[in-house]
Chain A
Amino acid sequence: MRTLAFVRRNLKEILRDPLSLVFCFAFPVLLLVIMELIITSTVPDISYVPQFKIENMFSSMCVFSFTFLTLFTAMLISKDRNSSFQARLNVSPMKSVEILFGYILAVLPLAIIQIILIFCASLCFGLVVKWNILLAVLALFPSMILFIGLGILVGSLCGEKAVGGMSSVIINLAVFLGGMFFPLETMNNAFTVICDILPFAPGIKIPKAIITENTEGIWIAVLTVILYMLVILGISILVFQLKSKSDKKAH
């Protein structure tokens, strides 16, 4: 009950901020539309730029939109931690675990709305709807949780001013090391190895492979993303709890 009340509060705080609406929902959709319009009107054969095939762009833009969940989760947690609002929560009978789940559960519906919007935009550019779309959407969940976990981590560790900078680093890492706008296959070996070790490229690769029904060797990517998700979520919960306790000692 208390957690649900806090979820409602967090959702309202995020959704009533015009910046959140622009970056969480409008920007990834707009980027997909612009890129697809440019590519379809300038490139005669899409096989030259496979990363812009709609099934690739659907996966890339979903993961890209999740990076903004990191930003907004971190901003909300950091703002509450550094303002007296956290003091009010600490005085209430709410436990820190309820507060933590209040943040996580508030961001999940935003991620689902992001997927729906990007899916609708992708349909306009020829995404073929088959049963495997549902599986591809399910395959996005570990990445979704991973980026929410990163948001909790950044929000717990950084002050309000540092949150934007740290989240930007994560957004850029996800874009460049996820191979969203360039084919990783064309890069040198060391770079692709780094990209495969990190969770961003595998997170995009999984839904893409499911949609194109080319799932050979996908299990390594699945294991990589799930492992990162579990580790990051575990660390973020631990850090959040520890920071709640250390904030109590330090003030």
Chain B
Amino acid sequence: MISIKNLTKKFKDLCAVDSLSLDIYEGEIFALLGVNGAGKTTTIRMLSCISRPTSGNAEIDGFSLKKQSAKIKEIINISPQETAIAGNLTVRENMEFIASLYYKDKKIIEEKVKALLKDFSLEDVAKKKAKLLSGGMQRRLSIAMALVSAPKVLFLDEPTLGLDVIARKELWKQIEELKKKMTIILTTHYMEEAEALADRIGIMVKGKLVEVGTVAELKAKTGEEKFEDAFIKIAGGKL
């Protein structure tokens, strides 16, 4: 589904992503892990056409990132790190606005919005202004907005950052339900999140992808029992 070849992003002297090469398969949840500044968000921004790569390229569903970004935009969507909602619009209006960027038919827009409000348990707050929702609900809305275009590839940038444990678990459930329906690439700082959700995990250190594998493979490779310890070992930290 996604084939990345030597993808690189430089900011003056800093190489944020360094020759990243990776294949992500259709229907899998792929988690990008790394400490702050490892290059996870920059990678997602490049793959979602928000930021231009300095060099290298990627193919998403056969479309070239550099040459066919308009085609790619039709099949991807993103739930950014900060909750990207229009605060003064109601929950329903937020959904309808994003849907109308992808569909012309009002009936289709209505159906999509109705279904997602139900799936994400947002029906009761549909008429509420988005800025008045709790953090967890705002994040849920942000993901629902990303799903309104029925993307083939969904990017989730730290989807549960700052959420309490209950809101986080609820959101995990929702993400798990999306499994197999689309390819999901998520970044996270929470090891247990990657363990619970991801089919495979890529660990980035200083812009480089240093390891890729399943949780079991990464634990076996490092000889650690806990995935958190395996991550620390790979990321170059001391135990």
A residues whose Cβ falls under 8 Å from a Cβ of B = 1-2, 5-6, 8-9, 12-13, 16-17, 83-85, 87-94, 248-251
- Alpha-carbon gap, A2 to B42, bound state (A): 27
- Chain B residues near A90 (CB, 8 Å)? 49-50
Nearest-neighbour CB distance to chain A for B118, whole angstroms, equals 22
Q: B178 interface residue, CB < 8 Å from A?
A: no
Q: Decide if B73 touches A92 in the complex (CB within 8 Å).
A: yes
- Alpha-carbon gap, A93 to B49, bound state (A): 11
Q: B93 interface residue, CB < 8 Å from A?
A: yes
Nearest-neighbour CB distance to chain B for A98, whole angstroms, equals 9
Closest chain A residue, CB of each to CB of B87: A13
- A249 touching B52 in the complex, CB below 8 Å, given contacts A1-B104, A9-B97, A88-B98: yes
Nearest-neighbour CB distance to chain B for A246, whole angstroms, equals 10
- Alpha-carbon gap, A17 to B82, bound state (A): 21
Q: Decide if A9 touches B86 in the complex (CB within 8 Å).
A: yes
Q: Decide if A84 touches B81 in the complex (CB within 8 Å).
A: yes
- Alpha-carbon gap, A206 to B146, bound state (A): 49
Nearest-neighbour CB distance to chain B for A4, whole angstroms, equals 8
Select which of A83, A85, A88, A248 is within 8 A of B51 by beta carbon.
A248
Q: Decide if B97 touches A8 in the complex (CB within 8 Å).
A: yes
Q: Decide if A248 touches B50 in the complex (CB within 8 Å).
A: yes
Q: Decide if A12 touches B51 in the complex (CB within 8 Å).
A: no
- Alpha-carbon gap, A13 to B77, bound state (A): 23
Nearest-neighbour CB distance to chain A for B20, whole angstroms, equals 16
Nearest-neighbour CB distance to chain A for B127, whole angstroms, equals 13
Q: Decide if A88 touches B88 in the complex (CB within 8 Å).
A: no
Select which of A1, A91, A248 is within 8 A of B77 by beta carbon.
A91
Q: Decide if B97 touches A251 in the complex (CB within 8 Å).
A: no
Nearest-neighbour CB distance to chain A for B51, whole angstroms, equals 5
Q: Decide if B80 touches A17 in the complex (CB within 8 Å).
A: no
Nearest-neighbour CB distance to chain B for A24, whole angstroms, equals 15
Nearest-neighbour CB distance to chain B for A43, whole angstroms, equals 43
Q: Decide if A2 touches B100 in the complex (CB within 8 Å).
A: yes
- Chain B residues near A17 (CB, 8 Å)? 88
B residues whose Cβ falls under 8 Å from a Cβ of A = 11, 42, 45, 48-52, 70, 73-74, 76-78, 80-89, 93, 97-98, 100-102, 104, 129, 145-146, 149
Q: Decide if A13 touches B88 in the complex (CB within 8 Å).
A: yes
Closest chain A residue, CB of each to CB of B149: A92
- A251 touching B98 in the complex, CB below 8 Å, given contacts A84-B81, A88-B78: no
Q: Decide if B45 touches A85 in the complex (CB within 8 Å).
A: no
Closest chain B residue, CB of each to CB of A13: B88
- Alpha-carbon gap, A250 to B149, bound state (A): 27
- Alpha-carbon gap, A20 to B50, bound state (A): 30
Most chain B CB neighbours (cut-off 10 Å) among A1, A83, A88, A92? A88
Closest chain B residue, CB of each to CB of A82: B82
- Alpha-carbon gap, A6 to B104, bound state (A): 13
13 A-B pairs in the complex with CB atoms less than 8 angstroms apart: A12-B88, A83-B84, A84-B82, A85-B85, A87-B80, A88-B98, A88-B145, A90-B49, A91-B76, A91-B78, A92-B149, A93-B70, A248-B51
Q: Decide if B52 touches A87 in the complex (CB within 8 Å).
A: no
- Alpha-carbon gap, A13 to B129, bound state (A): 11
Q: Decide if B52 touches A9 in the complex (CB within 8 Å).
A: no
Q: Decide if A13 touches B89 in the complex (CB within 8 Å).
A: yes
- Chain A residues near B88 (CB, 8 Å)? 12-13, 16-17
Q: Decide if A88 touches B100 in the complex (CB within 8 Å).
A: no
Closest chain A residue, CB of each to CB of B42: A251
Q: Decide if A92 touches B83 in the complex (CB within 8 Å).
A: no
Nearest-neighbour CB distance to chain B for A82, whole angstroms, equals 10
> Closest 3 CB pairs between A and B?
A84-B80, A84-B84, A5-B100
Q: Decide if B78 touches A248 in the complex (CB within 8 Å).
A: no
- A12 touching B80 in the complex, CB below 8 Å, given contacts A91-B48, A91-B49: no
- Alpha-carbon gap, A249 to B50, bound state (A): 9
Q: Decide if B102 touches A93 in the complex (CB within 8 Å).
A: yes
- Chain B residues near A13 (CB, 8 Å)? 86-89
Nearest-neighbour CB distance to chain A for B50, whole angstroms, equals 5
- Chain B residues near A92 (CB, 8 Å)? 73, 98, 101-102, 149
- Alpha-carbon gap, A200 to B35, bound state (A): 53
- Chain B residues near A5 (CB, 8 Å)? 97, 100-101
Closest chain B residue, CB of each to CB of A249: B52
Q: Decide if B84 touches A88 in the complex (CB within 8 Å).
A: yes
- Chain A residues near B73 (CB, 8 Å)? 91-93
Q: Decide if A87 touches B86 in the complex (CB within 8 Å).
A: no
Closest chain B residue, CB of each to CB of A87: B80
- Chain A residues near B51 (CB, 8 Å)? 248-249, 251
